């Protein structure tokens, strides 16, 4: 995920403000994991849109089908190849 989005595991954790707000709510102690899941899903959904898969949903994450997963993985692989080619070109152009 770091290669594609620049976000690490820490970026998906609930912030202190989120934790404080959750603690004021009923069942707030259960919301911390939900915040993490939601942040991860939103980042993954944005990545999938960038990869050309605009209809990525919760179902794809929690109940994937073989056909859709194959398309999504192919899209991510193609995106990574494109990204590597562009980074290589960028580095070549910026060499002294």
The string of pLDDT tens digits covering residues 6-59 is 777 677 676 777 777 777 877 666 666 677 788 889 999 999 999 999 999 999
Q: How far is Cα 4 from Cα 45, in angstroms, rounded to an integer?
A: 12
Residue 81 has pLDDT above 90, yes or no: yes
Structure tokens at 74: 């192919």
Contact in structure between 7 and 1 (CB atoms under 8 Å): yes
Closest CA to 40 of 76, 81, 5: 5
Domain that residue 23 falls in? 2-93
User: Taking CA 51 as the corner, what is the angle to CA 63 and CA 42, rounded to the nearest 5 degrees?
Assistant: 55
Number of domain units in the chain: 1
């Amino acid at each position: 995920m770091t290669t594609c989005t620049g976000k690490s595991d820490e970026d998906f954790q609930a912030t202190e403000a989120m934790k404080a707000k959750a603690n004021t709510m009923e069942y707030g102690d259960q919301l911390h994991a939900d915040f993490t899941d939601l942040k991860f899903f939103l980042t993954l959904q944005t990545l999938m849109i960038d990869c050309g898969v605009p209809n990525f949903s919760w179902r794809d994450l929690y109940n994937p089908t073989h056909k859709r997963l194959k398309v999504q993985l192919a899209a991510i692989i193609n995106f990574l190849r494109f990204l590597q080619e562009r980074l290589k070109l960028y580095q070549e152009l910026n060499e002294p």
